[in-house]
């Protein structure tokens, strides 16, 4: 019988699970993305400036950068109206919406477990 702890015993399923989680992580990680997605989940559609107002402390540079990354990963849609002054709205894409349960559970878990001094 093979030692269950041997390197060879790392099975396919496990590696795939880890692979999957690594992708999810790569798409969600960082200081802002989860919050952006959470706000969009709650409010369906938000203008750039509305997002900026909600994400307290974010710089424009970061907000734009993260919105672009989320678009590139197809988690959000950008809707631009040809007006002056410009109006741009963001919403979750279908793929982004499929994160709903995960986002909600992360919010719940955090609320339940935040043992911290500071309030986020």
Partner DNA sequence: CTCATTTCTTACTTTTTTGTTAGTATCATA
Partner DNA sequence: TATGATACTAACAAAAAAGTAAGAAATGAG
**Residues near DNA (CB under 7 A):** 29-32, 47-49, 52, 57-62, 64-68, 78, 80, 84-88
- Looking at 14, 68, 80, 87, which residue binds its own copies (CB under 8 A)? 14
CB-CB contact of 73 with 24 (8 Å): no
| Contact pattern for its own copies over residues 32 through 51, marking x by CB under 8 A | --xx--xx--xx--xx--x-
Tell me if 33 sits within 8 A of 70, measured CB to CB. yes
Closest distance between its own copies and the C-beta of residue 71, in Å?
Answer: 14
3-state secondary structure of 91: strand
Q: Are 100 and 45 in contact (CB under 8 A)?
A: no
The answer to whether residue 60 forms part of the interface with its own copies (CB under 8 A) is no
Which residues on neighbouring strands pair with residue 80, listed in sequence order?
88
Kindly state the smallest distance separating residue 77's Cβ from DNA, in Å: 12
């Amino acid at each position: 019988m093979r030692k269950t702890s041997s390197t060879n015993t790392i099975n396919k399923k496990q590696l795939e699970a880890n692979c999957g989680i690594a992708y999810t992580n790569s798409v969600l990680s960082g200081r802002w993305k989860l919050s952006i997605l959470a706000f969009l989940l709650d409010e369906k559609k938000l203008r750039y400036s509305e997002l900026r107002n909600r994400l307290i402390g974010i710089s424009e540079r970061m907000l734009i950068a993260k919105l672009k990354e989320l678009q590139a990963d197809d988690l959000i849609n950008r809707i631009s109206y040809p007006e002056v002054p410009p109006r741009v709205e963001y919403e979750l894409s279908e793929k982004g919406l499929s994160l709903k349960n995960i986002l909600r559970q992360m919010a719940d878990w955090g609320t339940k477990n935040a043992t911290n001094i500071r309030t986020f």
